[in-house]
Amino acid sequence: MTQGNAGNGRTILITGARGFIGRAVQKLLRQSGCNVLPVDQAASVPGSGHFSVGREILLDITQLEQLKSLFSAREIAGIVHLAAILPTAARQDPLRATEVNVTGSLNLLEMAREFGVRRFVFGSSLSIYGTCPAEQVVSETNRAAPEDLYGAAKLYVEQLGQIYADCHGIEFVTLRIGRVVGPGAKSTSSAWRSEIFEFLQSDHPAKITVPYVASERILLVHVNDAAKALVGLVQASHPGQTVYNAPCESVIVEELRQLVEGLNPNLTIELGDRYATGNPRLLDCTRFQNEFGLQTEPILDQLKNAAEK
C-alpha cells in the first residue's frame, strides 16, 4: 500500500489509545515505522496541561487547552480518533457521553484545522444504520438512522468531519466498525467478545454468556482486522472514499456456540433473548476490500487457531 502524508516516520496521534482497538492500532503503527502518540483520558488531569505515563499522554479531549498544548508541542501528521463513551455508559450518563463523543471530536477537528493535520481517521460504528431487516445487506449508501445517543453522536461527527473536509481541506475518513472480538477487551458489559477467545484454553468448567438468541446473526470483526483497516486508512496516499464499512463477518449465534463448546468441552455458552437491534445483520464491505485488499480470516477459523495454540 502506498504511504501518504501520514506514512512511515511521521507522528500519528491515537485517541482512546488504552482501549481495545487503540492498543492494536498502536502496535501495528509502530511495526510500520510510524512514531505513535498515544492519548487517553486520565481520571484527573491537573491544570490545563498534560502529562505522560510511560509513552502515553493523559488528557481530556473535551478540554481544548490541553489539546492545544499537545499539538503545539508535537508535529502531528495524522489522527486516528477512537476515544468515545461506549453505548452502555452513554445511556447511563448522556451528558458526559455527548461532551466526549461530540465536543471532544469537534475539538480534535479544530486542532487538525489549526495545526495543519492532513489525515483524520474516525472510528465510527455500524450503529449509525440502526435496526435493519434481517435480509438487508447494508452498504455505505444506505440511509443512516441511529437509534441511540451513541450512534447519533457517531453520525454527527461524520457530518462534522465532512464539513471540515469541504471547508478546510482536512482528509477526513470514516470507518464504520461492527462488534469487535478478540482477547484482551476488558469489557464489563460485553465480556463474551473476549471470553470466546480467552477461555479456549481453560482446564476447568467456565460459562460464557452471549446475550442473543440462537437464530440471530451478528456482525463481528476481530480486533486485529479492525486495527489493520484503520492503519490502512491513515497511511493510504489518497483514500478513494470518505466512508467505509469495516470488513465484518455475519455469524449465526448458534454456530458460534456450537463451535466454541466443541473446541473446549469445559466451556458452556449460555444464550440470551436479545435480537441484534440497532445494527445491521448483513453487511457489504466490498468498498474497503476492493480498494485496500485486506484479506480477513473467518472468525470461526480464528477461534479454531486460538484453541490450538
CATH superfamily of 181-218+249-278+296-308: UDP-galactose 4-epimerase, domain 1 (3.90.25.10)
Instruction: Identify the pLDDT of residue 41.
Output: 87
Q: What is the pLDDT of residues 166-209, one digit of tens each?
A: 999 999 999 999 999 999 988 778 999 999 999 999 999 999 99
Domain residue ranges in the chain: 11-178+222-245, 181-218+249-278+296-308
Q: Please report where in the chains the cell 450503529 appears, as a residue.
A: 127
Please name the residues in contact with 287: beta carbons below 8 A apart, sequence gap of 6 or more: 139, 140, 241, 244, 245
Strands annotated E in the chain: 11-15, 35-40, 51-53, 56-58, 78-81, 119-125, 137-138, 171-177, 179-181, 206-212, 217-222, 243-245, 249-252, 267-274, 282-283
Instruction: Identify the pLDDT of residue 47.
Output: 42
Query: Which CATH architecture describes the domain 11-178+222-245?
Result: 3-Layer(aba) Sandwich (3.40)
Burial class (CB in 10 A: 0-12, 13-18, 19+), 270: exposed
Query: How high is the mean pLDDT in each 10-residue block of the chain (309 residues)?
Result: 51 96 96 95 50 73 96 96 95 96 98 97 98 96 96 98 97 97 87 96 96 97 97 95 97 98 97 95 96 93 92
Q: Please report where in the chains the cell 470466546 appears, as a residue.
A: 196
Residue 139 amino acid letter: S
Interhelix angle for 105-115 vs 149-168, to 10°?
Answer: 10
DSSP annotation string for 129-164: G-S--TTPEE-TTSPP---SHHHHHHHHHHHHHHHH
Instruction: Identify the pLDDT of residue 10.
Output: 87
Q: Are 104 and 85 in contact (CB under 8 A)?
A: no
Instruction: Identify the pLDDT of residue 187.
Output: 78
Alpha-carbon gap, residue 174 to 270, rounded angstroms: 35
Burial class (CB in 10 A: 0-12, 13-18, 19+), 215: exposed
Instruction: Identify the pLDDT of residue 185.
Output: 86
Q: Grid coordinates representing 158?
A: 461524520
